[in-house]
Structure 1
Amino acid sequence: MKLQSLLLAGGALLSGTAASAGGYQVTLAGQKNNGMGGVGVGLSLDQAAMFYNPGALAMVKDRGVQLGVSATLARQAFRAENGSVQRELQNNTTTPFSAFVGFGPTEGKFRVGIAIYTPFGNKLEYAPGWEGRFALTEIDLKSIYVQPTVSYAITDNLSVGAGLTYLALGSVNLKRDIPAQNANGEFASIELDGKAERKFGFNAGVFFKPSEKLSIGVSYRSKIDAQVKGGDVKFTNLSGTAAPNFQATEFDATLPLPATTSVGIGVMPNEKLTIGFDVNFVEWSAYKTLDFRFNAPVNGQTVSSSKRYYEDALTFRLGGQYQVTSGLTVRAGGAYDNSPVRDGYVTPETPDADRITGTLGASYKFGEHFSVDLSTQFVNLKKRTETQADLINNGTTDRVAGTYKTQVVVPGVGLNYTF
């Protein structure tokens, strides 16, 4: 067995299948934004501005509480190179959530708030006996971010803001088979279970509204290195012959959560129609290798690396909303994500590809203070094929050659209360 196979599984440590962004980034904060293709940097729709552009929060005049939850329903398939069987992944539904609370005087220049959201999360199970089972069979990932935010309107047209991002909770459990059988003919398996250290980062933004019909926003979210130290390593079904080669009980690993720079424009042709356009630049090139350190040998090694060599990538988003009646608003949008994963570097835990997303949404207001948001995203990833020749040429034979295809549906619901 090659230790690099273990590293491949570890690539899922804080990643998972992204529902609406490239690589292992997930953008599902704010149900209004979700229905508009994920735009929000150049708009000041509601308290979810804390996530998209803290500078825009000062322009949100209503104080309010917003709760939202989405369900990622993924269908993934894999066909091995020269294989005749298509493997359907046994995906489980995950429910990333968000909560935003914004305060401030109605006519004041200051706004403060706190945001709680789950930017990374996934639960995935490959079909028994699939060709890549020695790389990955299961993953269960959870994470929670907490972000206190302050925003200030310098003038009636210009505001700035910043938030402190705090990785409050991060956990992962993943499993894979080992190509070693016991006396009963069962393959051995390894399980990694760990918690990420609590870390701080920040995001900041500027929002400018030169007229009633135009707004512009710029935001920056800093990089955070998510670190797992002293994670548990467990082996099962090892034969007496193989057991001496697998002595590790703990592992350390680091995964970069890359910096993102975003620019957004909002256009309001009239009081009922709002259109937004965002461009996100994600510095994925920070993810070059995944390095593991074990407290004891795993097949004779305690340290090894697995190549990633991600590339920086752009995401383009376009969306709009239209107020049909005083109570009903409808939304639609779309996005195009460039995958940061280079040819020959695709891994089972993140079988990423360029993706096209279409979105729909609606809100209905019940009375003066309460409203409900609904959204649905339809994400289609292009087929992604890597050959054994690609893997050999790139020195990435710790993963499996074949073709991946992924489609994701993400329905969501949000509750809003203003005061």
Structure 2
Amino acid sequence: MTHHSTRRLALCVAVAGAMFAAPTTLLAAGFYIQEQGVTGLGRAYAGEAAAANDASTIYFNPAGMTRLESGEFQANVHLLMPRTRLSDQGSSATGAFGEQPIDGGSGGNPYDPTPVPNLYWAERYGERLWLGVGLTAPYGLANDYDDDFFGRYDSTDTDLKVINLHPSMAFELSERVSIGGGLDLHYANATLRSAVPSPAGPDPDTDGEFKLEGDSWDVGFNLGLQADLTDATRLGLHYRHGVSQTLRGTATVTPPQGLGESTTMSAQARLKLPDVASVALSHEFDARWTGLVQYTWFRWSNFDEIDVRSAGGSIQTVEQAYRDSYAIALGAEYQANPQWTLRAGIQYDRTPTRDGFRSTRTPDGDRIWYTVGASYRASDRFSFDFGYAYIDVGSESIELESEFAEVGVSTETRGRTRGDVHVLSAGLRYRF
């Protein structure tokens, strides 16, 4: 690596430290965060495995680095503004006190506006080889409900983030075909809280609490291919292996009021992330118009349960029963002039959650994305990217039954959820 390349990579790492010091958790489809590039957002991530507009191809298909016009450093930030509305549909608790409704409010909007950064660096070495690195937050979830939330015995507070470092490479097999791949170096950190009901009945003033905290490191990989089928049409294929994390930390049980002191023990839990496979096409209709389409499949059935264990055995097991899901996106780009490129797209993104297992931690539904975006090329070296998305999250039911054998209480959480997300994105690209 040359001296100049080393300095550019050092700059990338320094900026990464500043940007990723910000919170990176949020509500996402399931808890996957698609917002890993700004140009892609503008077309609802249609054709992202084939497009290779910029260095964010390191995430979506590293083979696309060979299509870049020069080495590039890219810094993006996405402001996600999720909103969820939950309504109680007859939640109740049963114990020695008989059956009682779980009195409480809707929990308020549990989400705050959250910035999500991405950083990429890519450079050519020789005639056919490219090397690159990315830093992203591909999975995350954060919500915090009011203390009197009717679904508090399911969840009160969730904070999960996964940071991914992507060392990647690409090789040009011929003028038409390139391959690429890389490692996914994951760091995961999670805090999960939920209330424990009192034997005397459901009351937020006497509830106890269950809290799990843990983190872990693990490694996965991803592979990609791009092929020009004609001078105007490009095919992209990409596969990302689902990393299976083992979060190690502590579990703390605070009994309901009057039933003793808090107990903290060492604990661990598995976090199984999905395999993700994409197929995409990009077609240039003429010198100005490009159409793009993409199908992405998620093996969310990996995420079947949260099993919290200690040295003495299982502490808590919560079934998730996620199903495999998919997303279909269609988008277009218009080259208005040498400086401006305009984009628009639509995407259907099916929720992996199921009736009977859907949780207030992920009050998700099928999503439809409507997006627009633009890029401005200020000079041969600098470009600026902008994007906006409105995501409509469909209404779904929450129907959960939980047993609290230690206090002799069972609960039924019954609710209805509906939401939406606004996303504002901006990025800076520097070519060298």
Same fold (TM over 0.5): yes
Q: Is the 8 A contact 1:143 1:170 kept in 2?
A: yes
Partner of 2:383: 371
Question: CA 1:82 to 1:16, structure 2 compared with 1: closer, same or farther past 3 Å?
Answer: farther
Gap regions ≥5 residues in structure 1: 1-14
Corresponding residue of 2:131: 112
Aligned counterparts, 1:252-271, within 5 A: 252-271=268-287
Q: Is 1:190 aligned with 2:210?
A: yes
In structure 2, give the amino acid aligned to 1:49: T
Report what 1:292 is aligned to: 308
Residue 170 (structure 1) aligns with: 188
User: Aligned equivalents of 2:204 and 2:239: distance in 1?
Assistant: 55
CA offset at residue 240 of structure 1? 4.7
**2: CA distance, partners of 1:226 / 1:71:** 27
Q: Secondary structure at the match of 1:71?
A: strand
* Partner of residue 289, structure 2: 273
Contact 1:180/1:242 (CA < 8 Å) preserved in 2? no
- Map 1:208-227 to 2 at 5 A: 208-227=227-246
Q: Is the 8 A contact 1:150 1:162 kept in 2?
A: yes
CA distance in 1, matches of 2:251, 2:80: 29
Q: Partner amino acid for 2:355? A: D
Q: Deviations over 1:285-319 (max 9, x none)?
A: 222222110356xxxx8444222222111110111
Structure 2 CA distance for partners of 1:398 and 1:24, relative to 1, 3 Å: farther
The one-letter code matched in structure 2 to 1:179 is P
Render the CA deviation track for 1:57-116: whole Å, top value 9, x for unaligned. Answer: 2122221000001111111111111489654323212222111100005x8211110011
1:406 paired residue number: 419
Q: For the residues of structure 2 that align with 1:72 and 1:271, how far apart are their CA atoms?
A: 34
Q: Give the conservation status (yes or no) of the 8 Å contact 1:261–1:281.
A: yes
Corresponding residue SS for 1:26: coil
CA contact (8 A) 1:17 1:349 kept: no
Residue 30 of structure 1: aligned partner: 37
TM-score of the pair, normalised by structure 1: 0.86
Instruction: Show the counterpart of 2:115.
Output: 95
> Superposition pairs for residues 66-81 of structure 1, below 5 Å?
66-81=74-89
Aligned with residue 338 of structure 1, among 339, 346, 350: 350
Instruction: Give CA-to-partner distance per residue, 1:169-194, whole Å, 9 cap, x none.
Output: 32122322221399994433333222
Rate the CA distance shift 1:155–1:130 in 2: closer, same or farther, 3 A. Answer: same
Q: Deviations over 1:208-265 (max 9, x none)?
A: 0122210001111001101112x1233557545244xx63422210011110111000
1:340 is paired with a residue of what secondary structure?
Answer: coil
- Report the Cα distance in structure 2 between the residues aligned to 1:129 and 1:355, rounded to whole angstroms: 29
User: 1:315 aligns to what?
Assistant: 327
Distance 1:405 1:150, change over 3 A: same
Deviations 1:141-197 (A, max 9, x none): 332100111101111000000111110x321223222213999944333332221x2
Choose from 359, 366, 370 the match for 2:371: 359
- Distance across 2 between alignment mates of 1:215 and 1:202: 24
1: distance between equivalents of 2:350 and 2:74?
31
The letter for the 2-side match of 1:400 is T
Is 1:50–1:115's contact at 8 Å kept on the other side of the alignment? yes
Describe the shift of the 1:154–1:135 C-alpha distance in structure 2 as closer, same or farther (beyond 3 A).
Answer: same
The Cα shift of 1:123 comes to 2.7
Q: How far apart, CA to CA, are the structure 2 residues paired with 1:216 and 1:250?
A: 49
- Structure 1 residues 184, 93: closer, same or farther in 2, change over 3 A? closer
1:364 and 1:17 map into 2 onto residues whose CA distance is 29
The one-letter amino acid of 1:403's match is: R
Name the amino acid aligned to 1:418: R
Is 1:119–1:145's contact at 8 Å kept on the other side of the alignment?
yes
1:386, CA displacement in angstroms?
3.8
Deviation at 1:130, TM superposition (A): 1.1
The letter for the 1-side match of 2:197 is: P
Report the alpha carbon displacement of residue 321 of structure 1 after superposing the two structures with TM.
1.4
Percent of aligned positions that are identical? 23
User: 1-side partners of 2:379 and 2:208: how far apart?
Assistant: 60
- Counterpart amino acid of residue 32 in structure 1: T
1:18 positional shift? 4.2
Assess, with a 3 A threshold, how the Cα gap between structure 1 residues 184 and 211 changes in structure 2: closer, same or farther: closer
**Distance in 1 separating the partners of 2:31 and 2:377:** 34
Identify if the C-alpha distance between structure 1 residues 237 and 284 changes in structure 2 by more than 3 Å, giving closer, same or farther.
closer
Structure 2 unmatched runs, 5+: 1-23, 92-103, 403-409
- Asked if structure 1 preserves the Cα contact closer than 8 Å seen for 2:347 and 2:368, the reply is yes
Cα contact 2:250–2:268 (8 A) shared by 1:
no
Number of aligned residue pairs: 387
* CA root-mean-square deviation: 2.5
Aligned match of 1:157: 176
The Cα shift of 1:363 comes to: 1.1
1:41 is aligned to 2:59: no
**Whole-Å Cα distance in 2 between the matches of residues 63 and 185 of structure 1?**
59
Q: TM-score, normalised by structure 2?
A: 0.83
Cα distance in 2 for residues equivalent to 1:81 and 1:16? 28
| Paired amino acid for 1:27 | Q
C-alpha contact 1:181 1:239 (8 A) present in aligned 2 = no
